[in-house]
């Protein structure tokens, strides 16, 4: 099929044979995420006109102040998925614990679990900066027909069958992989349809952008400090350009298209890092690798880490392969920093 005007629905049908597990459920799940993303996009576009920006007044499980749109996006995605009885369980960054999804007959026959960060970078909404949604899909490991367990969610990232994100920016894009490359779809708001705009995305092997919150420089491990100095040195094709927005989806998307590295390391004020392994690092690492990039915790491949808790935090180095490998060289000089 000519991909020039291919819709997301057509793409799913045309490529279902390449899915790791060919299943109508997985196709329906991607379609449900598409629907929820369109609704969230509509709500975001109203921010500032209606009372949906600012803090909601609650604190989530990570001890962070929830934004009103965090709560709204979480509810929209959760209800859209639950209503269609596609998954047997959902885990969200905004929920204390995982949610068991039962069918109308109280059965648990569905094969997949969904993990999500419903609105990454939501505090940026107040100042009109791009935000996003991140999602990750696994096949359950518990017996079908029984309630899901925590072990269904605590799987290595290498076991993902699909992962993606939605970037709500100057245009709204849905980017995802099912283990056969990465493709991006842009929403035509006039008719509410996602069209294939970025087929087979590839991260440049090398880049000239480094994305890190340099305001925390004094708190960073020695290896990260030395890598930043390397990025700033005037030699070879450096200094690199520093670009940091503070919204993982937006920073990652830019670096995937242009080439670069995103770093959120451990620090003296965040000894385990900030980003969540299950909701942010694993899906982005899966996407990065499928696009020819690399993702690690500074020492080990992210997708090989064994999760031990739902809201586990880890350091994150992700992007162009050569840039991540160079950062790992600096980190290797300080192995004590791996004790997070």
Q: Is 213 annotated as a binding residue?
A: yes
Q: Is 244 annotated as a binding residue?
A: yes
Neighbouring C-beta atoms of residue 230, cutoff 10 Å: 18
Tallying the residues shown for the chain, one arrives at 340
Is 121 assigned to a binding site? yes
Q: Is 2 annotated as a binding residue?
A: no
Any binding-site annotation on 158?
Answer: no
16 burial via Cβ count (<10 Å: 0-12, 13-18, 19+): middle
Residue at token pair 């070879």: 236
Phi, psi of 112 (to 5 degrees): -115, 155
Q: Is 136 annotated as a binding residue?
A: no
Determine the straight-line distance between the first and last CA of the chain, rounded to whole angstroms.
Answer: 49
172-177 and 182-188 strand pairing: antiparallel
**What CA–CA distance (Å, rounded) separates 64 from 66?**
6
122 is in an annotated binding site: yes
The reply to whether 117 sits in an annotated binding site is yes
CA distance 62 to 282: 18
> Does 280 count as an annotated binding residue?
yes
**Which residues, listed in sequence order, are joined to residue 136 by a DSSP beta bridge?**
115, 163
Q: DSSP assignment, residue 46? A: T
Of the candidates 32, 55, 255, 11, the one whose C-alpha atom is nearest the C-alpha of residue 133 is 32
Tokens of 271: 């000894």
Closest-CA residue to 240 (of 263, 223, 219, 218)? 263
User: Which residues lie below 8 Å from residue 24, measured CB to CB, with a gap of 6+?
Assistant: none
Is 93 annotated as ligand-binding?
yes
Residue 274 is labelled as binding a ligand: yes
CA-based radius of gyration for the chain: 19
Which residues define the annotated binding site for substrate? 120-123, 213, 244, 274
Which residues define the annotated binding site for Mg(2+)? 93, 117, 119-120, 280
Which residues define the annotated binding site? 93, 117, 119-123, 213, 244, 274, 280
């Amino acid at each position: 099929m000519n991909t020039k005007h291919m819709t997301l629905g057509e793409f799913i049908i045309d490529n279902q044979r390449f899915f790791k597990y060919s299943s109508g459920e997985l196709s329906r799940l991607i379609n449900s995420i598409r629907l929820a993303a369109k609704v969230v996009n509509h709500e975001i576009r109203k921010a500032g006109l209606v009372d949906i920006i600012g803090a909601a007044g609650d604190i989530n499980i990570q001890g962070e102040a929830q934004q009103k749109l965090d709560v709204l996006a979480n509810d929209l995605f959760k209800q859209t998925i639950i209503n269609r009885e596609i998954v047997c369980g959902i885990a969200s960054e905004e929920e204390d614990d995982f949610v068991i999804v039962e069918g109308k007959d109280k059965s648990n026959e569905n094969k997949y679990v969904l993990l999500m960060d419903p609105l990454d970078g939501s505090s940026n909404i107040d100042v009109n900066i791009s935000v996003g949604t991140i999602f990750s899909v696994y096949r359950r490991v518990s017996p079908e027909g029984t309630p899901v367990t925590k072990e269904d969610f605590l799987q290595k990232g290498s076991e993902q069958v699909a992962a993606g994100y939605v970037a709500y920016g100057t245009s709204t894009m849905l980017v995802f992989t099912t283990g056969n490359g990465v493709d991006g779809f842009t929403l035509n708001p006039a008719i509410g349809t996602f069209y294939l705009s970025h087929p087979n995305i590839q991260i440049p092997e090398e880049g000239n952008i480094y994305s890190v919150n340099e305001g925390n420089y004094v708190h960073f491990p020695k290896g990260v400090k030395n890598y930043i100095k390397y990025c700033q040195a005037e030699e070879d094709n450096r200094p690199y350009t520093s670009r940091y927005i503070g919204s993982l989806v937006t920073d990652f998307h830019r670096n995937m298209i242009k080439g670069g590295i995103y770093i959120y390391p451990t620090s003296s004020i965040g000894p385990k890092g900030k980003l969540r392994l299950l909701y942010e690092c694993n899906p982005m690492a899966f996407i990065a690798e499928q696009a020819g990039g690399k993702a690690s915790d500074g020492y080990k491949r992210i997708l090989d880490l064994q999760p031990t808790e739902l809201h586990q935090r880890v350091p994150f180095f992700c992007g162009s392969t050569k840039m991540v490998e160079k950062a790992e060289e600096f980190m290797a000089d300080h192995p004590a920093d791996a004790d997070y």
